[in-house]
Copies of this chain bind each other. A is one copy, B any other.
């Protein structure tokens, strides 16, 4: 059957949520911008009701925030909040890695290596952002606790915009450091060494945080 049909059989709210999620993560919908229910419904050919449900789902994923009688929009994070989100990641992601490591299959590890190879092949910015996200989240694929992984996903979602803005202005000349960190992390994963893995991972996140803090122009003005 055609993929058009496959898309259609999925629940409408799921489909709308996927579409909005893509739009938000790609930056098409900017932080602070209101998301009009009717406009989305018309564009995706559905009623407003599944749009409302989709917005609730996205809110649960940390992608939007809702205000009564005013609507939903992508949250605008200030500098300090972004720093705290990164600190949360520094503390949670090593735990997820430790939980994941014993259950990662050789196939999953091989896939991780492929993803890292594609990252190093130096593609465009959107590809880098998607691959970097896939690399890290995939390394938690063995984690038996869904709640931990989804919590981490929320943190990634919340700062996606800042990652893109930061990579845009920092340029590709500093990607070698990401690659070095990823390689060390990947090696620890191959060896299933949780201690080394936690070390490299938290260092990777922490370095990103401190570097991000030196670029205040990435963040929204506190005018909100």
Contacts and interface: CB of A to CB of B under 8 A. Distances in A.
Interface stretch (A50-58, A166-174, A187-195): A50-58
A85 B85 CA distance: 18
Interface stretch (A86-94, A131-139, A178-186): A86-94
A81 interface: yes
A88 B84 contact: no
Interface residues of A, number: 29
B99 A95 contact: no
Contacts of A59: 56, 60
A60 B131 CA distance: 27
B91 A145 contact: no
B84 A147 contact: yes
A52 B95 CA distance: 34
A88 to B, nearest CB: 6
Most buried by B among A11, A14, A84, A92: A84
B60 A147 contact: no
Chain A contact residues: helix, strand, loop or mixed = helix
A154 B144 CA distance: 18
A147 B57 CA distance: 16
Nearest to A152: B88
Interface in A130-172: 144-145, 147-148, 151, 154, 158
A5 interface: no
A68 interface: yes
A32 interface: no
Contacts of A49: 49
Given A84-B95, A151-B154, 15 more contacts: A14-B68, A52-B53, A59-B60, A60-B60, A80-B145, A81-B147, A84-B99, A84-B145, A88-B92, A88-B95, A91-B91, A91-B95, A92-B92, A147-B158, A151-B151
10 interchain residue pairs of minimum CB distance: A60-B60, A56-B56, A91-B91, A84-B145, A81-B145, A11-B68, A59-B60, A84-B148, A87-B95, A91-B95
